[in-house]
A and B are shown apart, each in its own frame.
Chain A
Amino acid sequence: MSQRAKLIRVLMTVVVGACLVLGSWKGEDDNFPFGPFRMYSTKQMLDGRVRGLQLWGRHPCGPFMNLVIEDFGLRRADLEGQLGKLAVEPTVLLTELERSYRRLHGGSFPFETLQLRDKIYQLESGRPVRESFNILGTRSTPSDLVDPCP
């Protein structure tokens, strides 16, 4: 390898390294791939609450069920991001989830009701002592637009 090629490569490491350090120091997720390495970086207080977003739905002739969010084209983490830092209204999100489900499943949609819930664990001294639900938003679809019961 020529000296020039070596010099270019070494300089690139300095530039990329500087971007990485700057991103970790001052950047945010928006600066991907030079944003901070935030995997599991948020703290959880010993006497706080742990929240987990869930999507529930009900067929016209069945009970509420905990649904697989990926069937709607997104991940749970995406929904949490939409509700959290992107501040999308839960009912708007539910409307878009129904639309994307229909696109992914050839127009079919089997749920007359969709509901976003926060499952909450209350911690005391770091140990879970209580569980509860908080309903964030509900959306009903007219029965003529929902698949009939199987």
Chain B
Amino acid sequence: MTGVLEAIHRLGAAYASWWVSPLPRARVAWLRTLAYGFIFLDVFVLRPWVADNGSVSTLLYEPLMIGRFLPLPEPTPFFVSAVKYSLLASAAIALSGRLPRAAGIGVFLLYTEWMLIAFSYGKVDHDRFAFLVALAVLPTVGKANWRDASVDAASGWALRCIQTAVVATYFLAAFAKLRYGGIDWVNGATLMRAILRRGTIFTDPLREHPQLLQVGQYMIVLFELCSPLMLMRNKIGRLYVRAAFLFHAITYAGITILFWPHILCLFSFLRLERLGSARAAFMERYVHGPA
């Protein structure tokens, strides 16, 4: 019994120390730039239709569980505009590096409401979880800048949360395929359906080769089930991260679907802190260099 308790204690300590192992604060600063900058891209370019939801009849509005539990207003044109511009203002302040905690929390809350508006008309997108986690944890680190050479537990925890959320998205997506589709998901015509609905010049020829698509279906599930390998801090982990980027590039080329915010969170695996020293070297050489 004592041995079991000791083993549990050691496991718990290992679990805890993994989550708070120090990682570079500069990487947090770069991720903040990407995440808060992405808010503008999302609102104006990728999903401008969210703003239009305010003009859709509230008869078609079916709030999600959070929207029914909390006293959130129905999306009228005024309310949606208020959320939109408050979100953009918070993101601009957060991008400037000022008030990282307050502005960051504002972005997290307002973007969550923005997503609740978007997903309360019949379709919930499932590529946002890691990004919401990023918006939730990035403010917890406090001030950070691109050239900060320090490593600390607060940055480590935030980055680990984002990385784990990315892996959980892949891994639990495989579980959802088996839950809703069963073995017919991999043995059926799932990718054929995607190609018929939104194929491109690259995938339309595959309509004549359903067996190839079935092989692709098995590979997708295998990729998702093995996704925890991304968390390994060695060559295998780095290779898997590259495979994830490649997977999304192929998906976009094939059916024009790109999980933008999820891909942004993939950058949490990359050594973005090196960009700070590269930028400094560039400025030194080309901007402030000898006359």
Contact = CB atoms under 8 A, between A and B. Distances in A.
Interface of A: 1, 5-7, 9-10, 13, 16-17, 20-21, 24-25, 29-33, 35-46, 48, 50, 52, 70, 73-75, 77-82, 84-86, 88, 92-93, 96, 99-100, 103-104, 121, 123, 125-128
Contacts of A45: 184, 188-189
B60 A41 contact: no
Interface in B33-75: 49, 52-53, 55-57, 59-60, 62, 64-66
B233 interface: no
Query: Does more than half of chain B's interface fall in helix, strand or loop, or is it mixed?
Result: helix
Contacts of B66: 32
Contacts of B56: 73-74, 96, 100
Contacts of A7: 16
Given A21-B172, A45-B189, A93-B60, 10 more contacts: A32-B116, A46-B187, A46-B210, A50-B192, A75-B49, A80-B122, A82-B60, A104-B55, A125-B210, A126-B189
Given A10-B16, A20-B168, A82-B122, A38 B180 contact: yes
Given A9-B19, A77-B123, A126 B60 contact: no
Contact of A33 (B132, B153, B161): B132
B260 interface: no
Contacts of B125: 39
Given A77-B123, A88-B60, A42 B213 contact: no
Contacts of B19: 9-10, 13
Given A10-B19, A73-B49, A126-B210, A79 B122 contact: yes
28 contacts: A5-B154, A9-B140, A13-B164, A24-B179, A25-B175, A25-B179, A33-B115, A35-B126, A36-B175, A38-B176, A38-B180, A39-B125, A39-B127, A39-B259, A41-B176, A41-B181, A42-B180, A44-B188, A73-B52, A73-B53, A74-B60, A75-B49, A80-B123, A82-B122, A86-B122, A126-B213, A127-B208, A128-B192
Interface of B: 15-16, 19-20, 49, 52-53, 55-57, 59-60, 62, 64-66, 77, 112, 115-116, 119, 121-129, 132-133, 140, 152-154, 157, 161, 164, 168-169, 172-173, 175-177, 179-182, 184-185, 187-190, 192-194, 196-197, 207-208, 210-211, 213-214, 259
